[in-house]
Amino acid sequence: MKKNQSPAKAPAPAEVNMSDKEVSVQQLNELLSDGTGFYSLPTQHFNEVFPRIYVGNAFVAQNIMRLQRLGVTHILNAAEGNSFMHVNTNAEFYAGTGITYHGMKANDTEHFDLSAFFEEGADFIEKALAHKDGKGKVYVHCREGYSRSPTMVIAYLMLRHKMDVRTALLTVRHKREIGPNDGFLRQLCQLNERLAKEGKLKTK
């Protein structure tokens, strides 16, 4: 799950003949690592990665007072479940706090199709930010705030702000150390390709 060494650099056949619109997992990994193939783990429990969007870990997600001090109005749990790799919260956990909850039962594995949640997650984040006449704050988390939750925020920036995958990934990485697994990076590349074909990305 944790990244420390860069993957082998042999390109897959599909990556050999690439246009500007196509982005490879390897290229995204190079943006995430420090240039030597090593990735940094988050140094903070949470970070504001885009105005009023926080990405963080389970520790803060389970600390109601901390969330209320931050002014969080909405929680997106991208790791709902009760195993060691998940965060066992639900709408009941936040009952009476004034915080709106949405959970996704996602696993942090390369084979898990997180893209099935991209639209749903983007809708929830968009509604959260529009809350209280545009004063809502959303806390997007998984267990560590390292793979699942940043992937959801990157997808939101692509879907709702027309950012290409590199710009969206760097926007989040600039504020927090992240390392989505290669499966998630591949799904973001596929989203990038689809949005580019549909003319839904800002052209440089």
What mean pLDDT comes out for the span 40-55?
97
pLDDT the model gives residue 20 = 52
Every domain of the chain and the residues it spans: 46-197
Q: Please give the mean pLDDT across all residues of the chain.
A: 91
Residue appearing with tokens 């903070």: 44
Catalytic residues, by residue number, are: 142
Least trusted range by pLDDT, from 16-25, 123-132, 166-175, 184-193: 16-25
pLDDT (tens digit per residue) in 13-38: 443 334 555 799 999 999 999 777 78
Q: pLDDT band for 129, please (50, 70, 90 cuts).
A: very high
What mean pLDDT comes out for the span 169-176?
98
The closest alpha carbon to 3, from 38, 44, 55, belongs to: 38
Residue 112 has pLDDT above 50, yes or no: yes
pLDDT the model gives residue 34 = 79
Domain at 46-197: CATH code: 3.90.190.10
pLDDT (tens digit per residue) in 142-157: 999 999 999 999 999 9
Percent of the chain surpassing pLDDT 70: 89
pLDDT the model gives residue 204 = 65
Query: Which amino acid, residue 104?
Result: M
CA gap 43, 100 in Å, rounded: 27
Percent of the chain surpassing pLDDT 90: 85
